[in-house]
Protein backbone atom coordinates (compact mmCIF):
# COMPACT_ATOMS: atom_id res chain seq x y z
CA UNK A 1 0.00 0.00 0.00
CA UNK A 2 0.99 3.60 -0.39
CA UNK A 3 2.61 5.26 2.58
CA UNK A 4 0.30 8.29 2.57
CA UNK A 5 -2.65 6.53 4.22
CA UNK A 6 -4.05 7.99 7.42
CA UNK A 7 -6.55 6.05 9.51
CA UNK A 8 -8.10 8.84 11.55
CA UNK A 9 -11.41 9.01 9.67
CA UNK A 10 -13.36 8.79 12.89
CA UNK A 11 -12.01 12.20 13.95
CA UNK A 12 -12.62 13.93 10.63
CA UNK A 13 -15.55 16.38 10.50
CA UNK A 14 -15.16 17.26 6.83
CA UNK A 15 -17.71 16.14 4.26
CA UNK A 16 -16.53 13.05 2.44
CA UNK A 17 -15.26 13.44 -1.11
CA UNK A 18 -18.31 11.79 -2.65
CA UNK A 19 -20.67 13.88 -0.50
CA UNK A 20 -18.93 17.06 -1.57
CA UNK A 21 -18.84 16.26 -5.28
CA UNK A 22 -22.23 14.60 -5.76
CA UNK A 23 -22.52 13.16 -9.26
CA UNK A 24 -19.51 15.09 -10.62
CA UNK A 25 -16.56 13.31 -12.17
CA UNK A 26 -13.47 13.72 -9.96
CA UNK A 27 -9.88 13.60 -11.23
CA UNK A 28 -7.47 11.74 -8.96
CA UNK A 29 -3.71 11.43 -9.41
CA UNK A 30 -2.00 8.04 -9.52
CA UNK A 31 0.71 8.13 -6.84
CA UNK A 32 1.87 4.52 -6.85
CA UNK A 33 1.31 1.25 -8.68
CA UNK A 34 1.99 -2.05 -6.88
CA UNK A 35 2.10 -5.16 -9.05
CA UNK A 36 0.91 -8.24 -7.17
CA UNK A 37 0.82 -10.70 -10.09
CA UNK A 38 1.69 -10.62 -13.81
CA UNK A 39 -1.78 -9.29 -14.68
CA UNK A 40 -2.93 -7.62 -11.45
CA UNK A 41 -1.91 -4.44 -9.66
CA UNK A 42 -3.05 -2.11 -6.90
CA UNK A 43 -3.43 1.47 -8.13
CA UNK A 44 -2.97 4.04 -5.36
CA UNK A 45 -4.83 7.28 -6.10
CA UNK A 46 -4.57 10.48 -4.06
CA UNK A 47 -7.76 12.24 -3.02
CA UNK A 48 -7.70 16.05 -3.43
CA UNK A 49 -7.35 16.51 0.34
CA UNK A 50 -5.14 14.23 2.45
CA UNK A 51 -7.54 14.63 5.39
CA UNK A 52 -10.74 13.67 3.58
CA UNK A 53 -12.45 10.26 3.39
CA UNK A 54 -13.84 8.85 0.15
CA UNK A 55 -17.20 8.20 1.84
CA UNK A 56 -18.32 5.14 -0.12
CA UNK A 57 -21.25 3.28 1.51
CA UNK A 58 -20.45 -0.35 2.29
CA UNK A 59 -21.60 -2.59 -0.56
CA UNK A 60 -21.44 0.14 -3.18
CA UNK A 61 -18.85 0.92 -5.84
CA UNK A 62 -17.39 3.76 -7.87
CA UNK A 63 -17.33 4.30 -11.61
CA UNK A 64 -14.11 4.95 -13.51
CA UNK A 65 -14.16 6.61 -16.93
CA UNK A 66 -11.43 6.84 -19.55
CA UNK A 67 -11.28 7.87 -23.19
CA UNK A 68 -10.13 4.91 -25.26
CA UNK A 69 -9.94 5.15 -29.06
CA UNK A 70 -11.88 8.43 -28.85
CA UNK A 71 -14.74 6.78 -26.99
CA UNK A 72 -15.66 7.17 -23.33
CA UNK A 73 -15.49 3.82 -21.54
CA UNK A 74 -16.93 3.38 -18.04
CA UNK A 75 -16.52 0.48 -15.63
CA UNK A 76 -17.38 -0.11 -11.96
CA UNK A 77 -14.84 -0.98 -9.28
CA UNK A 78 -14.94 -1.57 -5.53
CA UNK A 79 -11.95 -0.06 -3.68
CA UNK A 80 -9.85 -2.20 -1.35
CA UNK A 81 -9.14 0.88 0.78
CA UNK A 82 -11.83 1.84 3.28
CA UNK A 83 -13.48 5.03 4.50
CA UNK A 84 -11.06 4.93 7.43
CA UNK A 85 -8.20 5.58 5.01
CA UNK A 86 -7.96 9.33 4.60
CA UNK A 87 -6.63 10.96 1.45
CA UNK A 88 -6.32 7.76 -0.60
CA UNK A 89 -8.25 5.44 -2.88
CA UNK A 90 -6.77 2.02 -3.66
CA UNK A 91 -8.10 -0.05 -6.57
CA UNK A 92 -7.16 -3.69 -7.17
CA UNK A 93 -7.50 -4.31 -10.90
CA UNK A 94 -6.90 -7.48 -12.85
CA UNK A 95 -6.19 -6.93 -16.53
CA UNK A 96 -8.18 -9.15 -18.88
CA UNK A 97 -7.39 -9.59 -22.61
CA UNK A 98 -10.83 -8.27 -23.58
CA UNK A 99 -11.06 -5.67 -20.79
CA UNK A 100 -10.82 -2.22 -22.34
CA UNK A 101 -10.52 -0.30 -19.09
CA UNK A 102 -8.48 -2.88 -17.20
CA UNK A 103 -5.92 -2.86 -20.03
CA UNK A 104 -5.98 0.96 -20.04
CA UNK A 105 -4.97 0.92 -16.37
CA UNK A 106 -1.80 -1.02 -17.24
CA UNK A 107 -0.66 1.90 -19.43
CA UNK A 108 -0.82 4.43 -16.59
CA UNK A 109 2.26 6.00 -15.04
CA UNK A 110 2.65 7.76 -11.71
CA UNK A 111 1.27 11.28 -12.12
CA UNK A 112 -1.45 10.28 -14.59
CA UNK A 113 -5.05 11.12 -13.74
CA UNK A 114 -8.05 8.83 -13.27
CA UNK A 115 -11.66 10.07 -13.35
CA UNK A 116 -14.09 8.61 -10.82
CA UNK A 117 -17.58 9.25 -9.48
CA UNK A 118 -20.00 7.53 -7.12
CA UNK A 119 -21.48 5.98 -5.16
CA UNK A 120 -23.19 3.49 -7.45
CA UNK A 121 -24.97 0.20 -6.90
CA UNK A 122 -28.14 -1.35 -5.46
CA UNK A 123 -26.56 -2.96 -2.40
CA UNK A 124 -25.94 -0.98 0.78
CA UNK A 125 -24.91 -3.10 3.74
CA UNK A 126 -26.47 -2.56 7.16
CA UNK A 127 -25.20 -4.36 10.28
CA UNK A 128 -27.08 -7.55 11.15
CA UNK A 129 -29.28 -7.35 8.05
CA UNK A 130 -29.07 -11.16 7.88
CA UNK A 131 -27.62 -13.88 10.08
CA UNK A 132 -25.38 -15.25 7.33
CA UNK A 133 -23.81 -13.77 4.22
CA UNK A 134 -22.67 -16.45 1.81
CA UNK A 135 -20.20 -15.03 -0.69
CA UNK A 136 -19.05 -16.66 -3.92
CA UNK A 137 -16.30 -14.75 -5.74
CA UNK A 138 -14.04 -15.38 -8.70
CA UNK A 139 -10.88 -13.47 -9.60
CA UNK A 140 -11.09 -9.74 -8.93
CA UNK A 141 -14.70 -10.28 -7.87
CA UNK A 142 -13.20 -10.59 -4.40
CA UNK A 143 -13.14 -6.79 -3.94
CA UNK A 144 -16.80 -6.12 -2.96
CA UNK A 145 -16.72 -9.21 -0.74
CA UNK A 146 -13.63 -7.99 1.09
CA UNK A 147 -15.14 -4.52 1.50
CA UNK A 148 -18.26 -5.91 3.17
CA UNK A 149 -16.44 -8.54 5.24
CA UNK A 150 -13.97 -6.00 6.65
CA UNK A 151 -16.80 -3.65 7.61
CA UNK A 152 -18.58 -6.46 9.46
CA UNK A 153 -15.46 -7.61 11.28
CA UNK A 154 -14.61 -4.05 12.35
CA UNK A 155 -17.98 -3.82 14.12
CA UNK A 156 -18.11 -5.76 17.40
CA UNK A 157 -21.89 -5.29 17.46
CA UNK A 158 -22.40 -7.02 14.11
CA UNK A 159 -22.95 -10.74 14.63
CA UNK A 160 -23.28 -11.58 10.92
CA UNK A 161 -21.46 -14.76 9.87
CA UNK A 162 -19.55 -14.34 6.60
CA UNK A 163 -18.83 -17.50 4.59
CA UNK A 164 -16.69 -16.91 1.50
CA UNK A 165 -16.03 -19.29 -1.39
CA UNK A 166 -13.21 -17.91 -3.53
CA UNK A 167 -12.71 -19.66 -6.88
CA UNK A 168 -9.69 -19.29 -9.15
CA UNK A 169 -7.77 -21.18 -11.81
CA UNK A 170 -4.25 -21.41 -10.36
CA UNK A 171 -2.79 -20.83 -6.88
CA UNK A 172 -1.08 -17.67 -8.15
CA UNK A 173 -4.49 -16.26 -9.11
CA UNK A 174 -5.71 -16.06 -5.50
CA UNK A 175 -5.74 -12.31 -4.88
CA UNK A 176 -5.30 -10.87 -1.37
CA UNK A 177 -4.89 -14.35 0.13
CA UNK A 178 -2.67 -13.15 2.97
CA UNK A 179 -5.28 -10.61 4.08
CA UNK A 180 -8.14 -13.11 3.74
CA UNK A 181 -6.27 -15.73 5.78
CA UNK A 182 -5.47 -13.15 8.44
CA UNK A 183 -9.13 -12.15 8.76
CA UNK A 184 -10.12 -15.79 8.96
CA UNK A 185 -7.58 -16.53 11.68
CA UNK A 186 -8.48 -13.49 13.77
CA UNK A 187 -12.29 -13.66 13.79
CA UNK A 188 -14.59 -16.70 13.85
CA UNK A 189 -17.33 -14.68 12.13
CA UNK A 190 -15.39 -15.11 8.87
CA UNK A 191 -14.51 -18.26 6.96
CA UNK A 192 -12.97 -18.77 3.53
CA UNK A 193 -12.96 -21.84 1.29
CA UNK A 194 -10.67 -21.74 -1.72
CA UNK A 195 -11.46 -23.61 -4.94
CA UNK A 196 -8.91 -24.10 -7.73
CA UNK A 197 -9.06 -25.61 -11.21
CA UNK A 198 -5.34 -26.41 -11.22
CA UNK A 199 -4.18 -26.94 -7.63
CA UNK A 200 -0.66 -27.75 -6.52
CA UNK A 201 0.17 -31.14 -5.04
CA UNK A 202 -1.03 -31.31 -1.46
CA UNK A 203 -3.84 -28.82 -1.97
CA UNK A 204 -6.54 -29.21 0.71
CA UNK A 205 -9.20 -26.89 -0.69
CA UNK A 206 -11.82 -27.47 -3.36
CA UNK A 207 -10.89 -28.70 -6.83
CA UNK A 208 -12.61 -27.95 -10.13
CA UNK A 209 -15.78 -25.88 -10.38
CA UNK A 210 -17.86 -24.75 -7.40
CA UNK A 211 -20.63 -27.28 -6.78
CA UNK A 212 -23.98 -27.26 -4.98
CA UNK A 213 -22.46 -29.31 -2.17
CA UNK A 214 -19.67 -26.73 -1.77
CA UNK A 215 -22.21 -23.92 -1.63
CA UNK A 216 -24.41 -25.59 0.98
CA UNK A 217 -21.41 -26.59 3.12
CA UNK A 218 -19.20 -23.51 2.79
CA UNK A 219 -21.50 -20.59 1.89
CA UNK A 220 -24.99 -21.18 3.21
CA UNK A 221 -28.40 -22.77 2.82
CA UNK A 222 -31.80 -21.19 2.08
CA UNK A 223 -32.93 -21.05 5.71
CA UNK A 224 -34.63 -17.64 5.52
CA UNK A 225 -31.76 -15.84 7.22
CA UNK A 226 -29.03 -16.26 4.58
CA UNK A 227 -28.23 -14.04 1.60
CA UNK A 228 -25.89 -15.07 -1.21
CA UNK A 229 -23.60 -12.50 -2.84
CA UNK A 230 -22.02 -13.24 -6.24
CA UNK A 231 -19.22 -11.43 -8.04
CA UNK A 232 -16.90 -12.66 -10.77
CA UNK A 233 -16.76 -13.41 -14.51
CA UNK A 234 -20.26 -13.50 -16.11
CA UNK A 235 -20.19 -17.23 -16.99
CA UNK A 236 -19.35 -18.05 -13.38
CA UNK A 237 -22.10 -15.78 -12.04
CA UNK A 238 -24.67 -17.43 -14.31
CA UNK A 239 -23.59 -20.90 -13.18
CA UNK A 240 -23.55 -19.97 -9.47
CA UNK A 241 -26.97 -18.35 -9.73
CA UNK A 242 -28.35 -21.55 -11.20
CA UNK A 243 -26.83 -23.72 -8.48
CA UNK A 244 -28.11 -21.44 -5.71
CA UNK A 245 -31.61 -21.50 -7.19
CA UNK A 246 -31.47 -25.30 -7.38
CA UNK A 247 -30.60 -25.34 -3.68
CA UNK A 248 -33.80 -23.41 -2.96
CA UNK A 249 -32.77 -19.75 -2.85
CA UNK A 250 -35.39 -17.49 -4.45
CA UNK A 251 -34.90 -16.92 -8.18
CA UNK A 252 -32.58 -13.99 -8.86
CA UNK A 253 -33.68 -10.97 -10.87
CA UNK A 254 -31.82 -9.74 -13.93
CA UNK A 255 -30.90 -6.60 -11.97
CA UNK A 256 -30.42 -7.47 -8.31
CA UNK A 257 -32.17 -5.65 -5.46
CA UNK A 258 -30.95 -5.58 -1.89
CA UNK A 259 -33.90 -7.64 -0.64
CA UNK A 260 -33.11 -10.55 -3.00
CA UNK A 261 -31.86 -13.92 -1.71
CA UNK A 262 -29.21 -13.87 -4.44
CA UNK A 263 -27.48 -10.54 -5.12
CA UNK A 264 -25.22 -10.21 -8.16
CA UNK A 265 -22.68 -7.37 -8.15
Kindly list the catalytic residues.
61, 77-78, 231
Q: Could you tell me if 108 and 43 are in contact, meaning their C-beta atoms sit under 8 angstroms apart? A: yes
* CA–CA separation, 125 and 155 (whole Å): 12
Q: Could you tell me if 84 and 7 are in contact, meaning their C-beta atoms sit under 8 angstroms apart? A: yes
Give, in order, the Cα–Cα distances in Å from 37 to each of 94, 152, 164. 9, 28, 22
Instruction: Give the angle subtended at the CA of 196 by the CAs of 192 and 197, to the nearest 5°.
Output: 160
Cis peptide before 119 (omega within 30 of 0): yes
165, containing H or E segment: strand 161-168
Q: Could you tell me if 49 and 5 are in contact, meaning their C-beta atoms sit under 8 angstroms apart? A: no
Is residue 6 classed exposed, middle or buried when 0-12, 13-18 and 19+ CB atoms within 10 A define those classes?
A: middle
Measured over all CA atoms, what is the biggest interatomic distance in the chain, rounded to whole angstroms? 52
Question: What is the residue-wise DSSP string for 173-214?
Answer: G-TTHHHHHHHHHH-TTEEEEEEESSPPTT--SEESS--HHH
At 95 the three-state DSSP class reads coil
Amino acid sequence: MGNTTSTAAATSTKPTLLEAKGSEWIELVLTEKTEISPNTAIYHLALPDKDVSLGLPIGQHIQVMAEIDRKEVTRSYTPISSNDDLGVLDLLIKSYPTGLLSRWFTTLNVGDKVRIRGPKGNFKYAPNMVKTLGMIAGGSGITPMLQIAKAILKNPNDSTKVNLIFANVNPSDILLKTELDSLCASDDRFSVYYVLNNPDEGWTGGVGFVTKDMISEHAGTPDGSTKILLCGPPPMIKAMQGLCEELGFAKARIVSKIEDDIFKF
